[in-house]
Structures are given as structure tokens and as C-alpha cells.
Amino acid sequence: MTEKDKTRMYSDGNKTSIYGDAEKRTKTSVHNLKAGDTIVLKNAEYKILEIISESTGEAVIYKIQDQTGETLALKLYFEFKDPMNEPNAEALERIKQINDPDILNLIDYGTGADKFKDTYCYELLDFAEGLDLLSVDDLQTKYT
């Protein structure tokens, strides 16, 4: 891994994920959040179940649970120094309106004044159960 690899500074050497690892991550993320913590987004409270990924390069992905018990995914971005680089709220609003059974729903998002701790943009999405595409034995045969 090179010095320029952005994910290096946000993660540790003991990477774990929900995909078959026996051990769950107990250290806090760059957002100072870990499994068992509570996060409030737009006056709604969510419990963090686990950190799914810290290696996207732009965000940490959390598995969370809302107050009704529904499991969701939270994409919590790293801090943007320049507001012009934040996710485009107009585009996110259009994506939020898409209702297709083959696409994960964007439930909500926070940009501008709605950021978590006035610092971190986020996307709240349906949670996809199962494996990631890299776990599919013959990816090119199954998905063309």
C-alpha cells in the first residue's frame, strides 16, 4: 500500500467485514463511531450494528438499525474541505425518487445544513443481505 492510499489512514491492519469473518470490528471509525453506538440523523435515532467497510476511499459504510428494527446501510462520507465537492443534493433527490426492485432505495441523505455533526455528508440506504460481488465464484459467468 502506498503513502497516497487514502484508506490507509482511516483503517487498521485487522480489517473485518460482515462476509464470513468470525471477529467483529470493535475499534472506532474515523467518525468516532463503533458497533453499539447510537447516531442521530435528522432527528431520527439509529443503532450502529457494525462497520461494513472503511475502504471505499470516500466513506465508511455502516450496518445500522432504525427504531422499528429495520436494518439499513449508512454511507457516512469523510469530511469535505470544499463544499463544492460534496455529493450533489439535486442528484440525490432524483435518485431518492427512483423506485425499482433491482435498485437499492436511497431512503434519505444529508448534505449542506443536514450533515451529521455539521461535518459529514451521508446517504441512508436499504441494506442488501448476502455477499458482495467479489465473493461470487465465477463473476463473469454469472454477471455479463
Per-residue pLDDT of the chain (144 residues; tens, 9 = 90+): 344 333 333 333 344 444 444 344 556 677 889 999 999 999 999 999 999 888 778 999 999 999 999 999 999 999 988 888 999 999 999 999 999 988 889 999 999 999 999 999 999 999 988 766 666 777 777 666
Q: Which residue in 64, 54, 13 sits closest to 31, CA to CA?
A: 54
Say what the pTM is: 0.73
Tell me the helix, strand and coil percentages in the chain, rounded to 5.
Answer: 20, 30, 55
Backbone torsions φ then ψ of 77, nearest 5 degrees: -70, 160
Backbone torsions φ then ψ of 18, nearest 5 degrees: -80, -5
d(CA 108, CA 96): 7
